[in-house]
Amino acid sequence: MTHTNKTLAQWLAHLETAHSNGVIDMGLERVARVKETMGLNIACPLITVGGTNGKGSTCAFLSQIYAQAGYKVGTLTSPHLLR
């Protein structure tokens, strides 16, 4: 089942059921499944930063390294999806 034609409210409801058992999977496999489910085609290099602490600092550090090396950099941070 694909969710590419769902509304935001429907997609958020689907995401809420993903952790109904209260256990959070710390791997990136779930992120890859979301990308596939949403039908995203990301044709540029992408760095995903996850973990408990230091994500903001790590993103800022990496952004500056790549910007100083002449790359175009975009950073998206979002702690939660809220309705």
The CB density around residue 14, as the number of other CB atoms within 10 Å, is: 14
Residue 4 above 70 pLDDT?
Answer: no
- Residue 75, C-beta contacts closer than 8 angstroms, at least 6 positions apart: 59, 60, 63
* pLDDT tens, residue by residue, 19-76: 667 676 677 787 788 888 888 887 788 888 887 788 888 999 999 999 999 999 988 8
Its domain, for residue 68, covers 45-83
Residue 81 above 50 pLDDT?
Answer: no
Residue 1 is predicted with a pLDDT of: 46
- Please count the structural domains in the chain: 2
Residue 10 above 80 pLDDT?
Answer: yes
24 and 50 inside one domain: no
33 and 53 inside one domain: no
